[in-house]
Every structure is written in C-alpha cells, then in structure tokens.
Chains A and B, each alone.
Chain A
Amino acid sequence: MSVLYVTQPDAVVSKTYEAFTVALKQNGTWTKQSVPAQTIDQMVLMGNPQVTGDAFVYALQLGMPIHYLSSFGKYLGSALPGQSRNGALRLAQYGLYHDLSRRLELVKAIVTAKIHNQYVVLYRHGQTDSPVKGRKKLVQTQSTLDGVRGIEGLAAREYFAGMAAIVGTSWNFLGRHRPPPDPINSLLSFAYGLLRSQVTAAVHLAGLDPYIGYLHEVHHGQPALVLDLMEEFRPLVADNLVLSVLNNRQIQQPDFSESLGVYTLADEARKRFLQAFDRKMQDEFKHPVFGYRCSYRRAIELQARLLGRHLQEGIPYKPLVLR
C-alpha cells in the first residue's frame, strides 16, 4: 500500500524494465532515481510532471491509478486502470436514483454522519457546545432532499464558524471560500483535492458510476457519487488533518505566498503537508461496522464496496462515524 507523489513540475517519470525512473532537476543538474513500480498502488502527480507513454501504459497494466492534481492540490482528473464492468451494479445505482424514498433514507444517513463527524472534530478541539449538535436530529425530520441539503448547509456554516474559533484570529479565517482567500482555506482545498483522488479511485474500484449520486445533484461533469462518498470523510480526514498540522506548527504563516488574493503553499511546506496527509491515511482504527482494524485508505474502499452491496443486496449503508 504505497503511494508515489511527484511534486516537482519538471520531473520526468519513465520506465526501465520493471521499474520507474524519475528524473529530477536539482540545482541545475538532473538526477535519476529508481522507484520500484511493482510495489506502488497509486501515483499522484502535482503540477505537471511528465510521464512517458511507456510508463503510463505500464502503470495501468499494473492496475495503478494515476491522479492529476494542480500544484495547489486542486483535483484535475485521473487515468484509471480497466474498471470492473459490473452492469447489474450500475443498474441498481440508477434504480436507487429514481426511488425517492430509499434515496432520501441514504442521503439522510450520509448527512447525519457528516454532521456527527463535524461535531466530533469540534468537540475534540474543545468546542463542546456548538450548535452543530442539534442539526443531527433536524435531519431526521426532513421529508425532502432539498430540506436535507438546507440543514447540511446550515450545519456547515456553523461548523466552519466553530473551526474559525479554534484556529484563532491570527489566521484570518472567516469561513469556507473558494478560491482560497486565506491560508486555512488553501489548506482545506488541498486536503479535499487529495481526498477526492482517493475516493475517485475507490468508486472506480467498486465498479460504481461516479456521475450518478444521491445527495449532490447530477450536473454535467460533476462526479456526484464521489462527492457523496466524500462527505463523511471530509471532517474525519481532511479537517482533522488541517487542524493537527496547525496545532503542531508543522505549517506556519511564512509558508504561504499570496498572489491575486489567492494563498498558496511553498514547495517545502507542500511536501510536509503531503507527508502528514499520507500518515493520516495510514492511521489505523477499529472499523465500527466490520470490527477489525483498518486504515483510512482501506476504509474509503470499504465504504464504496459497502454502498455497492447496499444497492444490490439491500444491506443497510452505514457511513463511517467515529466517537
């Protein structure tokens, strides 16, 4: 379970027999580094490093998804290995989309879990009585999708207000905005982008259609199902991570640079953040449904597969909530 991140924009990833060779430019000279391709599960490219056609095809042959992120961590797209062609599963996925009562049940479960996780994040950081707590009950009383979405939005605004209180005034964080007008928002965007690449890979692995979702509206070009599945992980993985790097002072004010009102991370700090993200993904916990220890990376895949089982076999979908 290892991931190759390439963050240098002028790096070149090529293939030499069974291995990848990454050519990096350091102080004006090119150095080559061999990477054992067989043991890598995912490749994440940031900025625009070159990948030769040979290496690209070989990665797909090995079943390795290749994710493209902008240098700010915004998710751009992925090249995915031949996905599972489970037609029956997709028919079930489309079926649930039209079955309004079952769809509402699922959406309620997802939003409830998200709000619960948001509350847990605030609670762990000392915000014991935020108004987010009450929103969970309110979700259950809704009878329309739009009603649930409204509650979700309300909870999100209160949640980010709580988060602003945690990080303090020195960061100038007022709430969630895109594109990032302050450092915290830029970290959040980065973390969400990374998380999205993980969930996208999991959705494809489970053989689901990323464009048909339940909570998020089906728009042109919006992978609604990926965004749906991400909801429960946003507070657990991304927000927790951002708060912990700030608490441990791994990322500080001088690490950011501003251009045109948008804050971006410096190269060194970006590597530190990636390392922290990957450590978070490898964090193990006891899975509340399956009862065995697993990492967050594995948990994302498990949730996608559980959703597949929910669609086809009617097993109740339990989103991941932690205490």
Chain B
Amino acid sequence: MSDQAAAVASDATERCAIGISFGNSNSSIAFTSPDGKPEVIANEDGDRHIPSIISYVDGDEYHGTQAKSQIVRHPTDTVAYFRDFLGKEFKSIDPTPCHQSAHPQQHESTISFTVQEGTEGEKSTLTVSEVTTRHLRRLKNSASEYVGKEVNAAVITVPTNFTDAQRSALMEAAKGAGIEVLQFIHEPVAAVVAYDARPEAVVTDKLVVVADLGGTRSDVTVIASRGGMYTILATAHDYELGGAQLDQVLIDHFAKEFIKKHKIDPREEARSLAKLKLEAEATKKALSIGTNASLSIESLANGIDFTSNVNRLRYELLSSKVFGSFTDLIKQAVQKAELDLLDIDEIILCGGTSHTPKIARLVQSLFPETTNVLAPATSPTAIHPSDVAVRGAAIQASLIEEFEMADIEQSTHPMVTVTAHLAKAIGVQLISSDESNCIFKPLLNTETALPARRSAQYPAPKDGGDVLIRICEGTREIKVKKVEPKPKAEDEDDDEDDDDDEEDEEEEVREIAWNVSKPIAEFAIRDVKPQGKIEVMVSVNEHLAVQVTAREIGGKGGVRGAVEPPQVVENGA
C-alpha cells in the first residue's frame, strides 16, 4: 500500500484533499477553503446529498439523483445501498434494502451485482468494491470540478463499528478511484469536530451524544469531549431503524387510501411500489419543512393516477412508534456508557432523518433543559444535519493534508491514541454562601485524557485572610428530590449520609450532586486581600502524578506542590 500511495503523492506535486462522507443512502463531499471554512460541494445536478446509487441505461452510467430515478424503470440495472457490503462475506449481509434494485449475490469471497452495463451482449458482474470505486470516482470528479484542480486525497468517515476488513476494502476501492485515503475517521467524531471547529465555538469539557439517524440504519454514540480531545464511551446501533421506516409509514398510509378508492394494492406490484417509495420519501422531506404535503403519482397502478395530501400532525401520529424507537436508542446508548441523561451536555442530531422536527423535540424533552440539542428544529445555530459529518471530514483533511503518510500513521497508532483517562473527577472543595456546607467543584472531569492541565479562579472569603485549598477527588451522584418536602437522597453507587428510604412516587426532581471522595492535597495561601481571587492550576501527567500551583491574583509568589503517582499502577502505564 505504502509504495503505491507514495507514487500517487509524488505524481501529483501537490496533495489536494477533501472530506468524503460515504453512506448507504447518500454521500457528500466537502472542501475546506483556504480561509478555513468547510464547504459542502454540490455536484453537477446541484445536489449536496448525493444518493449512493449507480445505474446503467443504454450503456450510459448514471449516478446520484439521476440513478435514483432509474429505480422505477430499470431496477435490475441500478445498484444501491452497497456501502455496508464492502469487505463483508455474502452470508453476513442483510440484503433487504436492495430488494427494489439490483440484488447482491455471492462472488468468490465477496459480493457482486449483475447489471446490463453495455447496450447489448452479456451482463457484467460488478463486485461491490468496483461499484464503490465507480461511485467514489464520480464524487471525486465533482469535487475536482468545484475545487478547480485534481483531487487526489481524502479523509473518509466510517461508522464506529466498521471492521478492519471493511476499512481496507474501502481503502482499496478509493485507490482504484485515484483517491489516497489519508485517514478514516468515525462519523460521530466528525460531527463533533464540525461543531467544535466553528469560529464561535468554545472548547469546553462536555459529554456529547451524537445521534446519527440515517436512511437504513441509526447509530448513537456517547463521546466525552475534554479539552478538544474526544473519547468514545459507548455506541448503540440499530440496523433496521432509519428514514426508510418512516417512508414505509407513509407508503402504507397512502396505499390504504388507494385501496379504499380503487380496490388495488399498489404495494403488490414492484413498479408501483418503487414509484410510491420515491414519492413518499419526497413527501416526508416536505413535511419537515411545511405542515402540509401532497403526493401525486401518475399511473400508480393499473393506469390509475393518484393524488393525496397529508399533514404533519397526521404523519407524526402515524409514525410515533418509529419516533419512539429513536429516543429508545439514545437512552440505550447513554445507559451503556453508565451515565444518566442528566450528565449529557450536548446532543448532536445528524443524518437526514434528523430534519424531522418532531424527533428533535422528542429528544429535547428526554433531556433536561440545560442540555443543548443541536438540530434545526431546536437550535438556531445548528448545522444542516446531513452536512455535519462531511464537514468534520473536510476539517480533518485540511489539518493533515500537509502531513507525510508516515506521520499520520504514527499519530493514529494505539501507542499514541490509547491513553490513561481519569476515572474520577479532580476538583477543589468550596463552600456555599452559608459557609457550613462543603461543595465540590470539578476542575478536571472524569474521562479526561492524560496528560491534562486545567486552571480556574476562585474567590477568597469576603474579608480575605488565610485560605485553605483542598484538592480532592469527587464522585458524581444523581440526587432525587421530591418537590415539596425535605430533600431526600437516593444512592446510586456510593455511600452517602442522609438516607431515609421512603418510596414515594411524587413529582421528583433529579439533579447532579458531587461528593468528595478522597482528598489529594491541601495547601494554604496566607493573607489574601479582601475580595481577592486565587488561581489554581492542576496538571496531571500520564502516570497520575499531580502538580498543583496556586497563587493570589496580583499577589506575589504562590504555592507549588507535587503529589506522587500511586505506588501500584495496575492499569496505568
């Protein structure tokens, strides 16, 4: 691989890299302009979300939207939904999405499709990687035309559970299309990068849920974002849940209406069904924008035309069960990460299905008000959900475009990526206004990749004087309070003081509370001025050695100290 890749790089004097998001249903391409702004590229048809479909009619190759419309007339010569087949064996695939187009079949150790490529003669057998190569070549050509020079490298997004075999198959297929794959990055991480790379974004420590609601599958990922570094905590996948299920709801709805009028079921004939599916999808999209949408199909079945309407309310009612599955999948992922819904700071909805306003609102109602739901229906600053991943890929492409291939490989090696993460939060013990309660405030949160360094400013008591700074470890606890009576604590995983176990199903308020679990270091700052402020900086290295510095702002000197790493390091380096 390396010598071929080197050849590609040396032939073209300069590398020109783009971001590619390659999905089962749609693909997108994006380029980062010299001023650092990612732009999603529209192809010749003007599409930014290009259907991952290739079709052959009378010896011509059609791609994208043009190929998609061929499903009705030339279903057997149209190849669609092939991304997940790459690098897989025939017996392990689910061919359901291809039911209406060319069927996948076993071909040696891989999967192929048989299509009439030329005008006459024998049908040709295209392996899935050949189809992918052709698809990527079309994408590359569209990008090259837009950029104005030959695109020869890319960062491609893949699902988190893409196997090594799938990666190398995709790498090979891309090479066939003249694209050097600089790096594969995970789709949900690309989404977080796309948001974090916006000029107005502030890098903070947060827990992000990325819900990628696609056409034929949905993936939810929980990511700890700490100081701009991302760690995947849990993932949940559903290979049957996606926009196609919502299409089916509309197909069934309109089909029933048609049956009532004409006593014919349009779902029984392949061609009628294909027409209905194509239009139902368009109607669904229209319902994300307007509250009413129409559907009209000429000669749907038996030569009968069909025109009908549906409003958003009706559609939301019909598909409430599917919507519920989306929120269940999100809950499942959060649970898998051993977190609570309260812990989540941000939710990024991406994938075409996230355009549905009702889904965004259901997700919002699932989480507390403080959680930011990034979807067009709930946030005015949201990025177009179908563009999020590809933008992230384009940003990463621009970051590593100049790197040597060997540098990229070294940087992505487990030696570099696998690091120690804090198991417990480190923070400073503070007091609330009544001076009796101790409050823990995390400075370095759990799951922070090490080495890490954070600093914060804390006010001294009003009249100043000597101040104690106590660095502790803390654990997070979910407190369940009843609204009116005395506060009641319900222990989740830790031993806590107040515990009166009355099981009341009254209205409860659940909130996060921090408990000090273990003090690490104490130090004093003497003679702090009234209204003074103290800056504390904690830095933890990979071996869990802690360095603490504290000084009064505007004051002289300061206190410095180091805490030894734990003696028995079982899990650490």
- A and B: partners? no
